[in-house]
């Protein structure tokens, strides 16, 4: 039986996405070091010395749950972060885009806008999803604002939803884009890219 999501790559003008592999470890460690992103207590960005385990966990999620983790390259071909499809629900044609992080130097650039345009386009136009979710920590205000800028709508907050690695409780903010909204969101993202 084929999987709902088979590995594939996507490429735009500002970003290229390719299936995550163990060979990406060194480049991802370098990307995570740009801004010491792992120090943000409300995120799950790997430190340079935990990138190997991060990749193994992502690959296990791919095999066990049908997720698809990606390495993210900028226009120069340099790996600058990672993202993935996960929480895949093939029966209900839903998935989540998350585990997204980028080197500090490419944050708030056209790279993320185009990355989401490509991932959403594939989800709605090739996989025929009826909804795509985004989730983030309540305290991650930068992520919440970025998700809202995409055109996603906030569905709600899951209070004390998860126990973090440090033992704190995470309130999770849930956003989504539904299939009927995709044409407008696509146009919005295309407009943003044209103006950036």
CB-CB contact of 149 with 181 (8 Å): no
Residues in the chain: 196
Q: Is residue 185 part of a domain?
A: yes
Q: Is residue 147 part of a domain?
A: yes
Could you tell me which residues come within 8 angstroms of residue 63 by beta carbon, excluding any fewer than 6 positions away? none
Can you read off the two tokens belonging to residue 109? 């650039």
Q: Is residue 146 part of a domain?
A: yes
What are 97-131's pLDDT values in tens digits? 999 999 999 998 999 999 999 999 999 999 999 99
Of 162, 160, 157, the C-alpha closest to 174 is: 157
Q: What is the mean pLDDT of the chain?
A: 93
* Mean pLDDT for the stretch of residues 40-68: 89
State yes or no: pLDDT of 1 exceeds 60.
no
Domain hosting residue 53, numbered range: 10-195
Q: What is the pLDDT of residue 195?
A: 62
Q: Is residue 183 part of a domain?
A: yes
Distance CA 114, CA 37 (A): 21
What are 143-162's pLDDT values in tens digits? 999 999 999 999 999 999 99
Q: For the domain that residue 162 is a member of, what is the CATH number?
A: 3.40.630.30
Q: Is residue 117 part of a domain?
A: yes
Can you read off the two tokens belonging to residue 159? 């209070």
Number of structural domains the chain divides into: 1
Would strands 68-74 and 94-102 be described as parallel, antiparallel, or unpaired? unpaired
Q: Is residue 3 part of a domain?
A: no
Distance CA 169, CA 163 (A): 5
Distance CA 148, CA 154 (A): 8
Q: Is residue 182 part of a domain?
A: yes
Of 139, 171, 136, 138, the C-alpha closest to 150 is: 136
Q: What is the pLDDT of residue 183?
A: 98
DSSP letters along 11-33, please?
E-SSEEEEE--GGGHHHHHHHHH
178 or 41, which is more confident?
Answer: 178
State yes or no: pLDDT of 82 exceeds 90.
yes
Distance CA 71, CA 32 (A): 12
Q: Is residue 1 part of a domain?
A: no
């Amino acid at each position: 039986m084929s999987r709902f999501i088979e590995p594939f790559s996507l490429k735009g003008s500002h970003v290229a996405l390719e299936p995550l592999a163990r060979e990406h470890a060194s480049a991802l460690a370098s990307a995570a070091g740009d801004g010491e992103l792992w120090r943000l207590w409300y995120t799950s960005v790997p430190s340079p010395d935990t990138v190997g385990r991060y990749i193994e966990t992502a690959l296990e999620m791919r095999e066990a749950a049908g997720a698809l983790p990606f390495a993210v390259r900028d226009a120069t071909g340099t790996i600058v972060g990672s993202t993935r499809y996960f929480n895949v629900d093939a029966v209900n044609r839903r998935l989540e885009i998350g585990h997204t992080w980028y080197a500090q130097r490419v944050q708030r650039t056209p790279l993320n806008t185009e990355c989401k345009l490509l991932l959403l386009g594939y989800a709605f136009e090739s996989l025929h999803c009826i909804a795509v979710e985004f989730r983030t920590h309540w305290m991650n205000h930068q992520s919440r604002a970025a998700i809202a800028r995409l055109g996603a709508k906030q569905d709600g907050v899951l209070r004390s939803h998860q126990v973090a690695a440090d033992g704190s409780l995470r309130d999770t903010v849930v956003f989504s884009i539904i299939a009927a909204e995709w044409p407008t969101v696509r146009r919005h993202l295309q407009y943003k890219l044209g103006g950036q």
